[in-house]
Chains A and B, each alone.
Chain A
Amino acid sequence: MKVKGRNIEERFFKILMIISALIVVGSFFLIVGTIVVKGAPAMSWDLITKVPSGGFFLGGEGGVLNAIIGSFYIAAGSSLLALLISLPVVIYINTYLRKRSWLGNLTRMGYDVLFGIPSIVYGAFGFTLMMYLGMRASLLGGIIAVTLLVIPIMIRTMDEVIRTVPNELYEATFSLGATRLETAWVILKQVAPGIMTAILLAFGRGIGDVASVMFTAGFSDNIPTSMEDPTATLPLAIFNQLSSPYEGVRAKAYASALILTIFVLIISVLARLLSKKFSKNKV
Protein backbone atom coordinates (compact mmCIF):
# COMPACT_ATOMS: atom_id res chain seq x y z
CA MET A 1 0.00 0.00 0.00
CA LYS A 2 2.78 2.35 0.95
CA VAL A 3 4.71 1.50 -2.20
CA LYS A 4 1.65 2.23 -4.30
CA GLY A 5 1.20 5.62 -2.65
CA ARG A 6 4.69 6.72 -3.36
CA ASN A 7 4.44 5.61 -6.96
CA ILE A 8 1.34 7.74 -7.41
CA GLU A 9 3.17 10.65 -5.81
CA GLU A 10 6.12 10.06 -8.12
CA ARG A 11 3.94 10.12 -11.21
CA PHE A 12 1.92 13.12 -10.02
CA PHE A 13 5.01 15.29 -9.55
CA LYS A 14 6.59 14.13 -12.76
CA ILE A 15 3.51 15.25 -14.67
CA LEU A 16 3.55 18.56 -12.81
CA MET A 17 7.19 19.05 -13.75
CA ILE A 18 6.54 18.39 -17.42
CA ILE A 19 3.63 20.83 -17.38
CA SER A 20 5.85 23.48 -15.75
CA ALA A 21 8.58 22.92 -18.33
CA LEU A 22 6.00 23.33 -21.08
CA ILE A 23 4.77 26.59 -19.52
CA VAL A 24 8.28 28.04 -19.26
CA VAL A 25 9.33 27.02 -22.78
CA GLY A 26 5.89 27.93 -24.12
CA SER A 27 6.02 31.43 -22.62
CA PHE A 28 9.08 32.24 -24.75
CA PHE A 29 7.40 31.08 -27.96
CA LEU A 30 4.14 32.74 -26.97
CA ILE A 31 5.88 36.10 -26.50
CA VAL A 32 7.86 35.92 -29.74
CA GLY A 33 4.85 34.48 -31.58
CA THR A 34 2.49 37.22 -30.40
CA ILE A 35 4.93 39.93 -31.48
CA VAL A 36 5.51 38.29 -34.88
CA VAL A 37 1.79 37.83 -35.55
CA LYS A 38 0.95 41.41 -34.53
CA GLY A 39 4.06 43.04 -35.94
CA ALA A 40 4.47 41.38 -39.32
CA PRO A 41 1.37 42.90 -40.99
CA ALA A 42 2.48 46.43 -40.04
CA MET A 43 6.05 45.92 -41.20
CA SER A 44 7.21 48.05 -44.11
CA TRP A 45 10.38 49.33 -45.73
CA ASP A 46 9.43 52.86 -44.75
CA LEU A 47 9.53 51.86 -41.11
CA ILE A 48 13.19 50.86 -41.19
CA THR A 49 14.50 53.30 -43.81
CA LYS A 50 12.82 56.61 -42.90
CA VAL A 51 12.88 58.94 -39.95
CA PRO A 52 9.52 60.09 -38.54
CA SER A 53 7.83 62.91 -40.40
CA GLY A 54 5.93 65.67 -38.59
CA GLY A 55 2.99 64.31 -36.64
CA PHE A 56 4.33 60.76 -36.66
CA PHE A 57 2.75 60.05 -33.31
CA LEU A 58 -0.58 61.32 -34.59
CA GLY A 59 -0.60 58.77 -37.38
CA GLY A 60 1.80 60.55 -39.76
CA GLU A 61 4.22 59.07 -42.25
CA GLY A 62 7.72 57.88 -41.62
CA GLY A 63 9.61 55.22 -39.74
CA VAL A 64 11.85 54.58 -36.79
CA LEU A 65 15.27 54.72 -38.48
CA ASN A 66 16.28 57.46 -36.03
CA ALA A 67 15.57 55.13 -33.12
CA ILE A 68 17.29 52.13 -34.71
CA ILE A 69 20.46 54.12 -35.37
CA GLY A 70 20.25 55.81 -31.98
CA SER A 71 19.99 52.46 -30.19
CA PHE A 72 22.97 51.12 -32.13
CA TYR A 73 25.05 54.18 -31.29
CA ILE A 74 24.22 53.91 -27.61
CA ALA A 75 24.68 50.14 -27.40
CA ALA A 76 27.94 50.21 -29.37
CA GLY A 77 29.34 53.25 -27.56
CA SER A 78 28.54 51.89 -24.13
CA SER A 79 29.83 48.38 -24.93
CA LEU A 80 33.11 49.88 -26.09
CA LEU A 81 33.42 52.17 -23.09
CA ALA A 82 32.47 49.35 -20.71
CA LEU A 83 35.05 47.07 -22.36
CA LEU A 84 37.78 49.66 -21.82
CA ILE A 85 36.96 49.71 -18.12
CA SER A 86 36.10 46.03 -17.60
CA LEU A 87 39.02 44.39 -19.38
CA PRO A 88 41.74 45.90 -17.14
CA VAL A 89 39.70 45.10 -14.02
CA VAL A 90 39.24 41.47 -15.05
CA ILE A 91 42.90 41.11 -16.05
CA TYR A 92 43.99 42.62 -12.78
CA ILE A 93 41.92 40.43 -10.49
CA ASN A 94 42.87 37.29 -12.43
CA THR A 95 46.56 37.64 -13.27
CA TYR A 96 47.94 40.17 -10.83
CA LEU A 97 46.12 39.05 -7.72
CA ARG A 98 46.38 35.71 -5.97
CA LYS A 99 43.52 33.24 -6.28
CA ARG A 100 41.99 34.00 -2.92
CA SER A 101 42.94 37.63 -2.50
CA TRP A 102 40.44 39.74 -0.58
CA LEU A 103 40.46 42.47 -3.23
CA GLY A 104 39.57 39.99 -5.96
CA ASN A 105 36.74 38.53 -3.92
CA LEU A 106 35.49 41.98 -2.96
CA THR A 107 35.49 43.04 -6.62
CA ARG A 108 33.59 39.93 -7.71
CA MET A 109 31.10 40.32 -4.89
CA GLY A 110 30.71 44.03 -5.60
CA TYR A 111 29.91 43.47 -9.25
CA ASP A 112 27.55 40.63 -8.45
CA VAL A 113 25.64 43.09 -6.29
CA LEU A 114 25.83 45.93 -8.84
CA PHE A 115 24.53 43.49 -11.46
CA GLY A 116 21.25 43.40 -9.54
CA ILE A 117 20.76 47.15 -9.33
CA PRO A 118 17.83 48.04 -11.62
CA SER A 119 18.37 50.22 -14.67
CA ILE A 120 15.95 52.90 -13.42
CA VAL A 121 18.38 53.62 -10.57
CA TYR A 122 21.27 54.02 -13.02
CA GLY A 123 19.02 56.22 -15.16
CA ALA A 124 18.06 58.46 -12.26
CA PHE A 125 21.64 58.61 -11.02
CA GLY A 126 22.95 59.28 -14.53
CA PHE A 127 20.52 62.14 -14.98
CA THR A 128 21.46 63.64 -11.61
CA LEU A 129 25.12 63.39 -12.56
CA MET A 130 24.41 65.09 -15.88
CA MET A 131 22.56 67.95 -14.21
CA TYR A 132 25.48 68.37 -11.85
CA LEU A 133 27.86 68.55 -14.81
CA GLY A 134 25.53 70.89 -16.70
CA MET A 135 24.80 68.39 -19.47
CA ARG A 136 21.48 67.97 -21.25
CA ALA A 137 19.81 64.77 -22.43
CA SER A 138 22.11 63.60 -25.20
CA LEU A 139 23.79 60.69 -26.94
CA LEU A 140 26.74 61.00 -24.56
CA GLY A 141 24.45 60.99 -21.52
CA GLY A 142 22.72 57.84 -22.76
CA ILE A 143 26.05 56.14 -23.39
CA ILE A 144 27.26 56.97 -19.88
CA ALA A 145 24.11 55.65 -18.19
CA VAL A 146 24.08 52.44 -20.22
CA THR A 147 27.82 51.97 -19.58
CA LEU A 148 27.12 52.00 -15.83
CA LEU A 149 24.44 49.39 -16.46
CA VAL A 150 26.54 46.98 -18.57
CA ILE A 151 29.92 47.12 -16.76
CA PRO A 152 28.78 44.57 -14.13
CA ILE A 153 27.45 42.23 -16.84
CA MET A 154 30.71 42.42 -18.74
CA ILE A 155 33.00 41.99 -15.77
CA ARG A 156 31.08 39.03 -14.35
CA THR A 157 30.81 37.27 -17.72
CA MET A 158 34.48 37.75 -18.62
CA ASP A 159 35.59 36.76 -15.13
CA GLU A 160 33.59 33.52 -15.28
CA VAL A 161 35.26 32.68 -18.59
CA ILE A 162 38.80 33.56 -17.51
CA ARG A 163 38.41 31.50 -14.36
CA THR A 164 37.98 28.36 -16.48
CA VAL A 165 41.53 28.77 -17.80
CA PRO A 166 43.60 26.01 -16.19
CA ASN A 167 46.33 27.00 -13.75
CA GLU A 168 48.92 25.15 -15.85
CA LEU A 169 48.67 27.78 -18.55
CA TYR A 170 49.63 30.49 -16.05
CA GLU A 171 52.43 28.37 -14.67
CA ALA A 172 53.74 27.57 -18.15
CA THR A 173 53.91 31.23 -19.20
CA PHE A 174 55.40 32.35 -15.90
CA SER A 175 58.04 29.61 -16.05
CA LEU A 176 59.07 30.84 -19.49
CA GLY A 177 59.90 34.13 -17.83
CA ALA A 178 56.85 36.13 -18.93
CA THR A 179 55.71 39.04 -16.77
CA ARG A 180 52.17 39.17 -15.47
CA LEU A 181 51.20 41.59 -18.23
CA GLU A 182 52.58 39.28 -20.92
CA THR A 183 50.79 36.36 -19.31
CA ALA A 184 47.56 38.36 -19.49
CA TRP A 185 47.90 38.53 -23.30
CA VAL A 186 48.28 34.76 -23.52
CA ILE A 187 45.22 34.28 -21.34
CA LEU A 188 43.19 36.80 -23.34
CA LYS A 189 43.97 35.00 -26.60
CA GLN A 190 42.79 31.78 -25.01
CA VAL A 191 39.43 33.25 -23.96
CA ALA A 192 38.81 35.56 -26.94
CA PRO A 193 35.45 33.95 -27.88
CA GLY A 194 34.29 34.30 -24.28
CA ILE A 195 35.14 37.99 -24.36
CA MET A 196 33.10 38.37 -27.54
CA THR A 197 30.21 36.70 -25.72
CA ALA A 198 30.51 39.23 -22.91
CA ILE A 199 30.52 42.10 -25.40
CA LEU A 200 27.47 40.71 -27.19
CA LEU A 201 25.56 40.24 -23.92
CA ALA A 202 26.34 43.82 -22.95
CA PHE A 203 25.35 45.04 -26.41
CA GLY A 204 22.07 43.14 -26.21
CA ARG A 205 21.30 44.58 -22.80
CA GLY A 206 22.21 48.08 -23.97
CA ILE A 207 20.05 47.94 -27.07
CA GLY A 208 16.97 46.80 -25.18
CA ASP A 209 16.95 48.90 -22.06
CA VAL A 210 14.56 51.80 -21.61
CA ALA A 211 14.69 52.93 -18.00
CA SER A 212 18.35 53.95 -18.16
CA VAL A 213 18.02 56.05 -21.33
CA MET A 214 14.60 57.67 -20.96
CA PHE A 215 15.97 60.66 -19.06
CA THR A 216 19.60 60.58 -20.10
CA ALA A 217 19.36 60.24 -23.90
CA GLY A 218 16.08 62.07 -24.44
CA PHE A 219 14.21 61.64 -27.70
CA SER A 220 14.54 63.14 -31.14
CA ASP A 221 13.08 62.65 -34.60
CA ASN A 222 16.51 63.07 -36.17
CA ILE A 223 19.50 60.83 -36.40
CA PRO A 224 22.11 62.20 -33.96
CA THR A 225 25.09 63.85 -35.62
CA SER A 226 27.09 64.72 -32.51
CA MET A 227 27.54 63.54 -28.94
CA GLU A 228 25.44 66.47 -27.66
CA ASP A 229 22.36 65.64 -29.71
CA PRO A 230 19.34 64.12 -27.98
CA THR A 231 18.95 60.59 -29.27
CA ALA A 232 15.94 58.36 -29.81
CA THR A 233 16.17 54.69 -28.87
CA LEU A 234 14.17 51.81 -30.31
CA PRO A 235 12.66 50.56 -27.03
CA LEU A 236 11.60 54.07 -26.08
CA ALA A 237 10.12 54.58 -29.56
CA ILE A 238 8.10 51.38 -29.09
CA PHE A 239 6.92 52.59 -25.71
CA ASN A 240 5.92 56.02 -27.05
CA GLN A 241 4.12 54.60 -30.08
CA LEU A 242 2.23 52.13 -27.92
CA SER A 243 0.84 54.92 -25.74
CA SER A 244 -0.73 56.54 -28.79
CA PRO A 245 -4.52 56.56 -29.08
CA TYR A 246 -4.25 55.98 -32.85
CA GLU A 247 -4.52 52.37 -33.99
CA GLY A 248 -2.13 52.98 -36.92
CA VAL A 249 0.61 54.27 -34.64
CA ARG A 250 0.14 51.34 -32.27
CA ALA A 251 0.46 48.97 -35.23
CA LYS A 252 3.83 50.60 -35.94
CA ALA A 253 4.78 49.94 -32.32
CA TYR A 254 4.16 46.22 -32.89
CA ALA A 255 6.27 46.27 -36.04
CA SER A 256 9.05 48.14 -34.20
CA ALA A 257 8.83 45.54 -31.45
CA LEU A 258 9.32 42.87 -34.11
CA ILE A 259 12.46 44.66 -35.33
CA LEU A 260 13.83 44.79 -31.79
CA THR A 261 12.94 41.12 -31.24
CA ILE A 262 14.88 40.12 -34.36
CA PHE A 263 17.90 42.16 -33.24
CA VAL A 264 18.05 40.72 -29.73
CA LEU A 265 17.45 37.17 -30.89
CA ILE A 266 20.32 37.41 -33.39
CA ILE A 267 22.58 38.82 -30.67
CA SER A 268 21.55 36.16 -28.13
CA VAL A 269 22.04 33.29 -30.57
CA LEU A 270 25.45 34.65 -31.64
CA ALA A 271 26.51 34.98 -28.02
CA ARG A 272 25.45 31.41 -27.32
CA LEU A 273 27.20 30.00 -30.36
CA LEU A 274 30.41 31.77 -29.40
CA SER A 275 30.30 30.52 -25.84
CA LYS A 276 29.73 27.02 -27.18
CA LYS A 277 32.77 27.36 -29.39
CA PHE A 278 34.66 28.46 -26.34
CA SER A 279 33.73 25.42 -24.31
CA LYS A 280 34.82 23.16 -27.17
CA ASN A 281 38.34 24.61 -27.05
CA LYS A 282 38.62 23.98 -23.35
CA VAL A 283 42.07 22.63 -22.54
Chain B
Amino acid sequence: MNIRILKDKIAGRTMLVLTLVSILLAVLVAWGLFYRSLPLLENYSLTDLLTSSAWKPEKGEFGFLGFIMGTLWVTAIAIILALPLCLLVSIYLSEYAHPRLRKLIVPVVDLLSGIPPVLFGVWGVLFIIPLIQDHIAPSFVDNSAGYSVLAGGIVLAIMIFPLLITLFLEVFSTVPRDMLNASLSLGATPWQTVKKVLLKKAMPGMIASTVLAISRAFGETIAVLMVCGGNVPGIPHSVFDSGYPLPVLIANNFGETFSVPLYDSALLFAALLLFVIIFIFNAVSRIILARVKRKIE
Protein backbone atom coordinates (compact mmCIF):
# COMPACT_ATOMS: atom_id res chain seq x y z
CA MET B 1 0.00 0.00 0.00
CA ASN B 2 1.10 3.53 -0.71
CA ILE B 3 2.87 5.07 2.28
CA ARG B 4 0.90 8.31 1.90
CA ILE B 5 -2.40 6.53 2.09
CA LEU B 6 -1.18 4.54 5.07
CA LYS B 7 -0.21 7.77 6.84
CA ASP B 8 -3.61 9.22 6.03
CA LYS B 9 -5.38 6.18 7.44
CA ILE B 10 -3.32 6.02 10.63
CA ALA B 11 -3.78 9.75 11.29
CA GLY B 12 -7.50 9.38 10.63
CA ARG B 13 -7.91 6.52 13.10
CA THR B 14 -5.91 8.35 15.77
CA MET B 15 -7.95 11.50 15.36
CA LEU B 16 -11.21 9.56 15.42
CA VAL B 17 -10.22 7.97 18.72
CA LEU B 18 -9.25 11.38 20.12
CA THR B 19 -12.55 12.87 19.00
CA LEU B 20 -14.56 10.08 20.61
CA VAL B 21 -12.52 10.19 23.83
CA SER B 22 -12.84 13.96 24.13
CA ILE B 23 -16.61 13.71 23.67
CA LEU B 24 -16.67 11.12 26.44
CA LEU B 25 -15.22 13.81 28.69
CA ALA B 26 -18.70 15.14 29.42
CA VAL B 27 -19.83 11.65 30.38
CA LEU B 28 -16.74 11.22 32.56
CA VAL B 29 -17.38 14.50 34.40
CA ALA B 30 -21.03 13.59 35.01
CA TRP B 31 -20.17 10.07 36.13
CA GLY B 32 -17.37 11.27 38.43
CA LEU B 33 -19.59 13.81 40.15
CA PHE B 34 -22.48 11.34 40.42
CA TYR B 35 -20.24 8.61 41.82
CA ARG B 36 -18.95 10.93 44.54
CA SER B 37 -22.46 12.19 45.37
CA LEU B 38 -23.75 8.65 45.82
CA PRO B 39 -22.97 8.41 49.56
CA LEU B 40 -25.17 11.45 50.18
CA LEU B 41 -27.91 10.24 47.85
CA GLU B 42 -27.97 6.85 49.56
CA ASN B 43 -28.55 8.43 52.97
CA TYR B 44 -31.03 11.13 52.10
CA SER B 45 -33.95 11.38 49.72
CA LEU B 46 -33.60 13.77 46.82
CA THR B 47 -36.75 15.68 47.82
CA ASP B 48 -35.41 16.26 51.32
CA LEU B 49 -32.12 17.55 49.99
CA LEU B 50 -33.79 19.97 47.60
CA THR B 51 -36.64 21.22 49.80
CA SER B 52 -34.99 21.65 53.18
CA SER B 53 -33.05 24.77 54.03
CA ALA B 54 -31.39 23.40 57.18
CA TRP B 55 -27.64 23.31 56.51
CA LYS B 56 -25.71 21.89 59.46
CA PRO B 57 -23.18 19.43 58.02
CA GLU B 58 -21.66 18.64 61.43
CA LYS B 59 -25.11 17.49 62.61
CA GLY B 60 -25.76 15.67 59.37
CA GLU B 61 -28.33 18.09 58.02
CA PHE B 62 -27.91 18.86 54.33
CA GLY B 63 -30.66 21.11 52.95
CA PHE B 64 -29.83 22.85 49.70
CA LEU B 65 -32.90 25.07 49.43
CA GLY B 66 -31.14 28.16 50.78
CA PHE B 67 -28.39 27.87 48.20
CA ILE B 68 -30.80 27.12 45.38
CA MET B 69 -32.85 30.18 46.33
CA GLY B 70 -29.67 32.28 46.49
CA THR B 71 -28.79 31.17 42.96
CA LEU B 72 -32.32 31.88 41.73
CA TRP B 73 -32.35 35.37 43.28
CA VAL B 74 -29.08 36.55 41.75
CA THR B 75 -29.90 34.96 38.40
CA ALA B 76 -33.38 36.50 38.31
CA ILE B 77 -32.04 39.97 39.14
CA ALA B 78 -29.30 39.63 36.52
CA ILE B 79 -31.72 38.56 33.80
CA ILE B 80 -34.31 41.23 34.66
CA LEU B 81 -31.61 43.89 34.36
CA ALA B 82 -29.73 42.51 31.37
CA LEU B 83 -32.51 41.24 29.13
CA PRO B 84 -34.26 44.51 28.20
CA LEU B 85 -30.96 46.36 27.94
CA CYS B 86 -29.34 43.78 25.67
CA LEU B 87 -32.47 43.41 23.57
CA LEU B 88 -32.57 47.16 22.93
CA VAL B 89 -28.84 47.32 22.19
CA SER B 90 -29.03 44.37 19.79
CA ILE B 91 -32.04 45.86 17.96
CA TYR B 92 -30.19 49.15 17.77
CA LEU B 93 -27.03 47.54 16.39
CA SER B 94 -28.84 45.34 13.91
CA GLU B 95 -31.52 47.76 12.62
CA TYR B 96 -30.66 51.34 13.46
CA ALA B 97 -26.98 52.00 14.00
CA HIS B 98 -24.73 53.17 11.21
CA PRO B 99 -22.24 50.44 10.25
CA ARG B 100 -19.43 52.64 11.46
CA LEU B 101 -21.00 53.01 14.91
CA ARG B 102 -21.60 49.27 14.95
CA LYS B 103 -17.91 48.71 14.29
CA LEU B 104 -17.14 50.83 17.33
CA ILE B 105 -19.60 49.21 19.75
CA VAL B 106 -19.17 45.51 18.89
CA PRO B 107 -15.42 45.45 19.74
CA VAL B 108 -16.17 47.01 23.14
CA VAL B 109 -18.69 44.24 23.78
CA ASP B 110 -16.02 41.71 22.79
CA LEU B 111 -13.50 43.28 25.14
CA LEU B 112 -16.07 43.16 27.93
CA SER B 113 -16.43 39.42 27.36
CA GLY B 114 -12.67 39.01 27.82
CA ILE B 115 -12.62 40.51 31.32
CA PRO B 116 -12.12 37.73 33.88
CA PRO B 117 -14.72 37.18 36.62
CA VAL B 118 -12.36 38.19 39.42
CA LEU B 119 -12.06 41.71 37.96
CA PHE B 120 -15.85 42.00 37.90
CA GLY B 121 -15.68 41.05 41.56
CA VAL B 122 -13.07 43.69 42.35
CA TRP B 123 -15.12 46.30 40.52
CA GLY B 124 -18.24 45.19 42.35
CA VAL B 125 -16.51 45.65 45.70
CA LEU B 126 -15.11 49.04 44.71
CA PHE B 127 -18.13 50.49 42.94
CA ILE B 128 -21.40 48.59 43.35
CA ILE B 129 -21.12 47.81 47.06
CA PRO B 130 -20.60 51.46 48.12
CA LEU B 131 -23.29 52.53 45.67
CA ILE B 132 -25.84 50.18 47.23
CA GLN B 133 -24.72 50.82 50.79
CA ASP B 134 -24.75 54.62 50.58
CA HIS B 135 -27.27 55.50 47.91
CA ILE B 136 -29.69 52.73 46.98
CA ALA B 137 -30.29 50.76 50.17
CA PRO B 138 -30.88 53.70 52.58
CA SER B 139 -34.05 54.69 50.74
CA PHE B 140 -35.52 51.20 51.18
CA VAL B 141 -34.11 49.52 54.27
CA ASP B 142 -32.58 50.70 57.57
CA ASN B 143 -29.33 48.85 57.39
CA SER B 144 -27.45 47.18 54.61
CA ALA B 145 -23.75 46.47 54.26
CA GLY B 146 -24.10 46.54 50.50
CA TYR B 147 -23.05 42.92 50.10
CA SER B 148 -26.33 41.54 48.80
CA VAL B 149 -28.08 39.54 46.10
CA LEU B 150 -28.72 42.89 44.38
CA ALA B 151 -24.96 43.50 44.11
CA GLY B 152 -24.49 39.97 42.77
CA GLY B 153 -27.31 40.47 40.28
CA ILE B 154 -25.92 43.76 38.96
CA VAL B 155 -22.41 42.36 38.51
CA LEU B 156 -23.77 39.21 36.87
CA ALA B 157 -25.97 41.28 34.55
CA ILE B 158 -22.93 43.07 33.17
CA MET B 159 -21.07 39.77 32.88
CA ILE B 160 -23.79 38.32 30.64
CA PHE B 161 -24.14 41.44 28.43
CA PRO B 162 -21.62 40.20 25.82
CA LEU B 163 -23.12 36.71 25.62
CA LEU B 164 -26.68 38.00 25.22
CA ILE B 165 -25.80 40.69 22.68
CA THR B 166 -23.69 38.35 20.54
CA LEU B 167 -26.39 35.68 20.53
CA PHE B 168 -29.21 38.16 19.83
CA LEU B 169 -27.28 39.67 16.91
CA GLU B 170 -26.67 36.20 15.54
CA VAL B 171 -30.37 35.33 15.83
CA PHE B 172 -31.45 38.62 14.25
CA SER B 173 -29.14 38.03 11.30
CA THR B 174 -31.06 34.85 10.50
CA VAL B 175 -34.29 36.81 9.89
CA PRO B 176 -34.62 37.28 6.10
CA ARG B 177 -33.88 40.86 5.03
CA ASP B 178 -36.63 40.66 2.40
CA MET B 179 -39.25 40.28 5.07
CA LEU B 180 -38.08 43.38 6.95
CA ASN B 181 -37.84 45.35 3.71
CA ALA B 182 -41.34 44.29 2.74
CA SER B 183 -42.68 45.62 6.02
CA LEU B 184 -40.78 48.90 5.64
CA SER B 185 -41.92 49.39 2.06
CA LEU B 186 -45.55 49.03 3.17
CA GLY B 187 -45.04 52.12 5.28
CA ALA B 188 -44.33 50.63 8.68
CA THR B 189 -41.88 52.59 10.80
CA PRO B 190 -38.59 50.86 11.73
CA TRP B 191 -39.86 50.22 15.25
CA GLN B 192 -43.13 48.73 13.97
CA THR B 193 -41.07 46.49 11.71
CA VAL B 194 -38.94 45.42 14.65
CA LYS B 195 -41.98 44.74 16.80
CA LYS B 196 -44.15 42.96 14.25
CA VAL B 197 -41.57 41.18 12.06
CA LEU B 198 -38.10 40.95 13.57
CA LEU B 199 -39.04 40.02 17.13
CA LYS B 200 -41.77 37.64 16.01
CA LYS B 201 -39.48 35.77 13.62
CA ALA B 202 -36.59 35.76 16.08
CA MET B 203 -38.61 34.65 19.13
CA PRO B 204 -37.47 31.00 19.38
CA GLY B 205 -33.82 31.98 18.99
CA MET B 206 -34.21 34.77 21.53
CA ILE B 207 -35.71 32.43 24.10
CA ALA B 208 -32.87 29.95 23.53
CA SER B 209 -30.31 32.74 23.91
CA THR B 210 -31.89 33.85 27.16
CA VAL B 211 -31.79 30.30 28.52
CA LEU B 212 -28.08 30.16 27.68
CA ALA B 213 -27.52 33.42 29.53
CA ILE B 214 -29.45 32.08 32.53
CA SER B 215 -27.24 29.02 32.67
CA ARG B 216 -24.14 31.20 32.45
CA ALA B 217 -25.39 33.21 35.42
CA PHE B 218 -26.17 30.01 37.34
CA GLY B 219 -22.59 28.84 37.34
CA GLU B 220 -20.72 32.06 37.90
CA THR B 221 -18.72 31.72 41.07
CA ILE B 222 -16.01 34.09 42.07
CA ALA B 223 -17.57 37.44 41.23
CA VAL B 224 -20.75 36.45 43.02
CA LEU B 225 -18.76 35.16 45.98
CA MET B 226 -17.04 38.54 46.28
CA VAL B 227 -20.17 40.71 46.31
CA CYS B 228 -23.04 38.60 47.69
CA GLY B 229 -21.73 38.46 51.22
CA GLY B 230 -22.95 34.93 51.81
CA ASN B 231 -21.40 33.55 54.98
CA VAL B 232 -24.47 32.18 56.65
CA PRO B 233 -26.72 29.90 54.63
CA GLY B 234 -30.29 31.12 54.41
CA ILE B 235 -33.03 32.11 52.04
CA PRO B 236 -32.84 35.77 50.97
CA HIS B 237 -36.09 37.70 51.54
CA SER B 238 -35.24 40.99 49.84
CA VAL B 239 -32.75 42.18 47.25
CA PHE B 240 -30.72 43.75 50.05
CA ASP B 241 -30.27 40.45 51.89
CA SER B 242 -27.02 38.59 51.52
CA GLY B 243 -27.15 35.49 49.37
CA TYR B 244 -25.30 32.19 49.27
CA PRO B 245 -25.60 30.68 45.78
CA LEU B 246 -24.65 27.08 44.98
CA PRO B 247 -21.29 27.77 43.28
CA VAL B 248 -20.25 29.89 46.26
CA LEU B 249 -21.05 26.99 48.58
CA ILE B 250 -18.60 24.81 46.66
CA ALA B 251 -15.91 27.49 46.41
CA ASN B 252 -16.07 28.39 50.10
CA ASN B 253 -15.93 24.91 51.56
CA PHE B 254 -14.47 22.46 49.10
CA GLY B 255 -11.11 20.93 49.83
CA GLU B 256 -11.06 21.76 53.53
CA THR B 257 -13.80 19.99 55.37
CA PHE B 258 -13.29 16.35 54.68
CA SER B 259 -13.30 15.46 58.38
CA VAL B 260 -17.07 15.94 58.52
CA PRO B 261 -18.74 12.81 57.16
CA LEU B 262 -20.62 13.25 53.86
CA TYR B 263 -19.59 16.91 53.62
CA ASP B 264 -17.47 16.43 50.50
CA SER B 265 -20.17 14.23 49.04
CA ALA B 266 -22.67 17.03 49.62
CA LEU B 267 -20.45 19.61 47.93
CA LEU B 268 -19.95 17.36 44.92
CA PHE B 269 -23.71 16.86 44.85
CA ALA B 270 -23.97 20.65 44.56
CA ALA B 271 -21.54 20.51 41.62
CA LEU B 272 -23.56 17.68 40.07
CA LEU B 273 -26.74 19.73 40.47
CA LEU B 274 -25.12 22.66 38.65
CA PHE B 275 -23.76 20.38 35.95
CA VAL B 276 -27.08 18.65 35.27
CA ILE B 277 -29.18 21.84 35.22
CA ILE B 278 -26.72 23.73 33.05
CA PHE B 279 -26.18 20.75 30.75
CA ILE B 280 -29.90 20.42 30.09
CA PHE B 281 -30.40 24.17 29.61
CA ASN B 282 -27.44 24.35 27.24
CA ALA B 283 -28.37 21.28 25.24
CA VAL B 284 -31.95 22.41 24.69
CA SER B 285 -31.07 25.96 23.72
CA ARG B 286 -28.15 24.93 21.49
CA ILE B 287 -30.41 22.53 19.60
CA ILE B 288 -32.99 25.30 19.09
CA LEU B 289 -30.30 27.74 17.94
CA ALA B 290 -28.82 25.19 15.52
CA ARG B 291 -32.29 24.63 14.03
CA VAL B 292 -32.82 28.38 13.63
CA LYS B 293 -29.50 28.67 11.80
CA ARG B 294 -30.05 25.64 9.60
CA LYS B 295 -33.33 27.06 8.35
CA ILE B 296 -31.60 29.85 6.50
CA GLU B 297 -28.79 27.65 5.19
Name the B residues within 8 Å of A127 (CB-CB): 254-255
- In the assembled complex, the Cα of A17 lies from the Cα of B192 at a distance in Å of 15
Residue of B nearest to A183 (CB): B8
Give the contact stretch, choosing among B42-50, B56-64, B138-146, B214-222. B214-222
Would B23 and A92 count as touching, CB distance under 8 A? no
Number of A-B residue pairs having CB atoms within 8 Å of each other in the complex: 253
Chain B 106-124 near chain A by CB (<8 Å), digits 1 or 0: 0111111011111111110
- In the assembled complex, the Cα of A85 lies from the Cα of B18 at a distance in Å of 7
Known: A25-B105, A28-B111, A121-B275. A179 touches B161 (CB 8 A): no
Would A17 and B127 count as touching, CB distance under 8 A? no
Q: Does B51 contact A (CB under 8 A)?
A: no
- In the assembled complex, the Cα of A66 lies from the Cα of B111 at a distance in Å of 27
Known: A30-B127, A31-B115, A128-B36. A114 touches B25 (CB 8 A): yes
- In the assembled complex, the Cα of A190 lies from the Cα of B78 at a distance in Å of 41
Q: Does A227 contact B (CB under 8 A)?
A: no
- In the assembled complex, the Cα of A261 lies from the Cα of B112 at a distance in Å of 11
Would B117 and A210 count as touching, CB distance under 8 A? yes
Known: A119-B221, A124-B33. A96 touches B12 (CB 8 A): yes
Residue of A nearest to B82 (CB): A24
> Would you give the shortest CB distance from A61 to chain B, in whole angstroms?
22
Would B114 and A204 count as touching, CB distance under 8 A? yes
Would B283 and A113 count as touching, CB distance under 8 A? yes
- In the assembled complex, the Cα of A242 lies from the Cα of B126 at a distance in Å of 10
Would A215 and B114 count as touching, CB distance under 8 A? no
> Would you give the shortest CB distance from A183 to chain B, in whole angstroms?
9
Give the dominant DSSP class at A's interface.
Answer: helix
Would A25 and B247 count as touching, CB distance under 8 A? no
Would B286 and A124 count as touching, CB distance under 8 A? no
- In the assembled complex, the Cα of A166 lies from the Cα of B89 at a distance in Å of 32
Interface residues on B, range: 35 or more
- In the assembled complex, the Cα of A271 lies from the Cα of B113 at a distance in Å of 13
From B23, B111, B251, give the contact of A265 (CB < 8 A).
B111
Name the A residues within 8 Å of B179 (CB-CB): none
Would A235 and B118 count as touching, CB distance under 8 A? yes
Would B118 and A124 count as touching, CB distance under 8 A? no
Would A9 and B14 count as touching, CB distance under 8 A? no
- With most chain A CB atoms within 10 A of its CB, the pick from B8, B86, B281 is B8
> Would you give the shortest CB distance from A114 to chain B, in whole angstroms?
6
Would A28 and B8 count as touching, CB distance under 8 A? no
Q: Does B267 contact A (CB under 8 A)?
A: yes
From A96, A148, A260, give the contact of B116 (CB < 8 A).
A260
Name the B residues within 8 Å of A88 (CB-CB): 14-15, 18-19
> Would you give the shortest CB distance from A157 to chain B, in whole angstroms?
13
Residue of B nearest to A243 (CB): B226
Q: Does A211 contact B (CB under 8 A)?
A: yes
- In the assembled complex, the Cα of A205 lies from the Cα of B107 at a distance in Å of 17
- In the assembled complex, the Cα of A7 lies from the Cα of B191 at a distance in Å of 9
Would A92 and B19 count as touching, CB distance under 8 A? yes
Name the A residues within 8 Å of B5 (CB-CB): 179
Would B117 and A208 count as touching, CB distance under 8 A? yes
Jot down 12 A-B pairs with beta carbons below 8 A, ordered by A. A10-B191, A35-B122, A38-B126, A116-B282, A118-B247, A148-B25, A181-B11, A201-B114, A207-B116, A210-B116, A239-B118, A257-B119
